Amino acid sequence: MADIKQIKDKQDEKLKGKSDEEKALAAARRAMEEMRSKRHLKEPDQLASGKSDKNGNMVIEELTPEDEIDIDEENNKDSK
Amino acid sequence: MMTGIRLRMRDELEQRYNILRLNALNSATRVLDDPSIRLKLVDNATYTAFQQWDKQPNRIKDWDWPSTLQQWKMNFPKRFEAAAWKNNKLAGLSLGRPTYAGTGLRLDYIEKAPVTDIRLVETMLVALTAYSSLLGANHLKIMHPVNAAVRDYYVSFGFTYISKQDCCIKRL
């Protein structure tokens, strides 16, 4: 994880003043590299994520300030 | 009812973010390992292809993507949307939007086609990461994994499951 962060920080520095196309491509390349390195499990054949209402319909979930969380804080809570 | 000025502002935002969405999807398509996969914005061809999903008995969710996508296109100009095509067959759909204050990017919905051999999560995460870089988001959230196998699959890519919000989160 630290390696990926370092790569990202270096890339961010290099990408200052670059076009959106260049930024998107650099991020996509970095993400693809990470996917390859973490490709350990077979993807489930049936795969979905998202919220349904009681009738099984897709819903537009309301966004709240609680949506913004401190990831590290939440990680610590979950690991306790 | 939207007033003229609000409609114009919405249209301007829609156009601006559509360029970013296209940048993200095109960039992701370029770097994917499988050259038979294309990421595209949702269009009429997507809706037509989706009708085949509706007939499949082994669909994990009976979601009505076309009507939801149209609602989101009207209401969320900054949304992430992607249709994954493999060998010209619709292999997956996803939909997301920035978090409340825009520090993160949520993947609100994702569904893999009932019959396909695509690695959909990898494909969508590459595009989502590219889009997040253009929005300046610092984390990704995948909302409401449908079961433990799917949740664990996200975790295998470095996400952390947050039970309180029923989502998987990863810092970028």
pLDDT digits over A27-75, tens only? 999 999 999 999 999 999 999 999 999 999 999 999 988 877 655 555 5
Q: Give a yes or no: residue A46 inside a domain.
A: no
User: Residue A22: inside a domain, yes or no?
Assistant: yes
CB neighbours (10 Å) of residue A76?
A: 10
Q: Is residue A51 part of a domain?
A: no
Q: Is residue A72 part of a domain?
A: yes
Which candidate from A35, A36, A65 shows the least CB-CB separation from B100?
A65
Check residues B11 and A11 and name the one with the higher pLDDT: B11
- Minimal C-alpha gap between B80 and chain A (Å): 14
Q: Is residue A14 part of a domain?
A: yes
A:B CB pairs within 8 Å: 176
Domain that holds residue A24: 2-38+56-79
What is d(CA B91, CA B84) in angstroms, rounded to the nearest whole number?
5
Note the pLDDT of residue B57: 87
Does residue A45 form part of some domain? Answer: no
What's the CATH number where B78 sits?
3.40.630.30
* B155 in contact with chain A, both atoms CB, cutoff 8 A: no
Spell out the SS3 assignment of chain B: CCCHHHHHHHHHHHHHHHHHHHHHHHHHHHHCCCCCEEEECCCHHHHHHHHHHHCCCCCCCCCCHHHHHHHHHHHCCCCEEEEEEECCEEEEEEEEEECCCCCEEEEEEEEECCCCCCCHHHHHHHHHHHHHHHHCCCEEEEECECCHHHHHHHHCCCCEEEHHHCEEEEEC
Asked if the structure places residue A50 within a domain, the reply is no
Distance CA B83, CA B70 (A): 14
- The DSSP bridge partners found for residue B82 are B94
Residue A5's pLDDT is 60
- E strand residue ranges, chain B: 37-40, 80-86, 89-98, 104-112, 139-143, 160-162, 167-171
- pTM here is 0.89
Range of the domain at B113: 4-171
Consecutive sets of 10 residues in chain B, 172 residues long: mean pLDDT of each? 82 95 98 96 96 87 95 95 97 97 95 95 98 95 97 97 95 92
**Total structural domains in chain A?**
1
More confidently predicted of B103 and A3: B103
Number of domains making up chain B:
1
